[in-house]
Amino acid sequence: MSNAVIRKTLISLAVAGAATLAQADVVIGVAGPHTGAYAAFGEQLWKGAEKAAMDINAAGGINGEMIKLVKADDACEPKQAVSIANRLVDSDDALAVVGHFCSSSSIPASKIYEEAGVIMVTPASTNPTLTDQGLPNVFRVCGRDDQQGDVAASYIVDKLNAKRVAVIHDKDTYGKGLADAMKATLNSYGVKEVMYEGLTRGEKDFNALITKIRSVDADVVYFGGLHSEAGPLVRQLREQGSKAIFISGDGIVSDEFVSVAGSPEYVDGVLMTFGAPPTSYPSGKKVIQEFRDSGYEPEGYTLYSYTAMQVAVAALANNNLDPIKGAEWLKSHSIDTVMGKKDFDDKGDLTVSDYVMYEWDGQGKYNVVE
């Protein structure tokens, strides 16, 4: 008998006795890049999940049982993601996981959670492959790259009327997947990219790449990747005199984008796709104010992580702490969250996507493009 089958059997036995036996804390993992170049996103995930767990515990927990969070650091490395996923299910006995952040981590980890009968709700992984695998336990409270790629391509063609688009990606599952999705829609509009090239995560010197971009006279540079490379890339573009409009996706939705760019002046005018402002939902007003009162601005994926926790908890609370039944239950029930009602299709994707275009300004802030 496999470890996964044994675990599912043990979960069933625990659930069967839940009505008469005192239960231990309900363990929920928070998996993401808590260290390394992408730790700013890990902090967003942790802050959101931590606040949600505190609020839920203060209200009585999950059917009277308290939530215990376990921080699991994958550093956005697939092999490390697999390792910590195994730890969460084998050592920590997690019933649910909020995470991961990077799609390249979420995809391999999701298979481990499925085998173990653990609910996985990612606040941020947008690559379509994650839910297209057909795993019954996997959900996301964000959109998909094929959706935000469509929004970006439509904006490039309809609003910018751009004809010379350079498409750059970071060769990672998320970055390349997003760039490819945008490119596919761009091509469907009859616009052929003038350049398509990858860079390597961790690179800081993009002079050779920028020379190529300038040589094709690009009027738009679209980048699929994260802030750690986007910041230096846009700075060096500006330093070398390029006036091309820089557009990226939700991988740069962090104040760290400004920091790694070196100055707000370099991000001025940068466009990015991201979901409708998470702070705009009336249902999240109280939580947002509490964050701000504590001195923390719930930027980026903070409220997505809070929402993911609410989704996972609703599944467990309404199914006697049975994650397998809870996963099935989520596909036919609406969940009230700090970001409004959430409904999921049979794949675990949201039934409604809300990507919009944002623009960074010279003060290092971003706002929806009207």
Mean pLDDT over each residue of the chain, to the nearest integer? 94
Pick the CATH number of 146-275+355-368 from 3.30.2350.10, 3.40.50.300, 3.40.50.2300, 3.30.420.40: 3.40.50.2300
Spatial contact of 32 and 45, defined as CB atoms under 8 Å apart: yes
How far apart are alpha carbons 157 and 115 in whole angstroms? 44
Query: 5 vs 181, which has greater pLDDT?
Result: 181
Instruction: Tell me what percent of the residues of the chain surpass a pLDDT of 70.
Output: 94
> What is the reported pLDDT for 370?
77
Q: Which residues, in sequence order, are bridge partners of residue 121? A: 98, 139
pLDDT tens per residue across span 48-60: 999 999 999 999 9
The phi and psi torsions of 143 (rounded to 5 degrees) equal: -85, -165
Task: For the beta carbon of residue 343, count every other beta carbon within 10 angstroms.
Answer: 14
- Cα–Cα dist 289/50, whole Å: 16
pLDDT score for 16:
44
* Helices of type H across 117-144: 129-132
Q: What is the pLDDT of residues 80-96, one digit of tens each?
A: 999 999 999 999 999 99
pLDDT at position 6: 47
Give the DSSP letter of residue 101: S
pLDDT in tens, 260-313: 999 999 999 999 999 999 999 999 999 999 999 999 999 999 999 999 999 999
pLDDT in tens, 228-240: 999 999 999 999 9
Residue 316 pLDDT greater than 80, yes or no? yes
Structure confidence at residue 34 (pLDDT): 98
Are both 3-142+280-342 and 146-275+355-368 of the same fold?
yes
Higher pLDDT, 256 or 23: 256
Q: Which DSSP category does 250 fall into?
A: G
Q: For position 270, what pLDDT does the model report?
A: 98
Q: Of all residues in the chain, what percent carry a pLDDT higher than 90? A: 93
> Which CATH code fits 3-142+280-342?
3.40.50.2300
Domain boundaries, the chain: 3-142+280-342, 146-275+355-368
Q: How far apart are CA 360 and CA 370, in angstroms?
A: 13
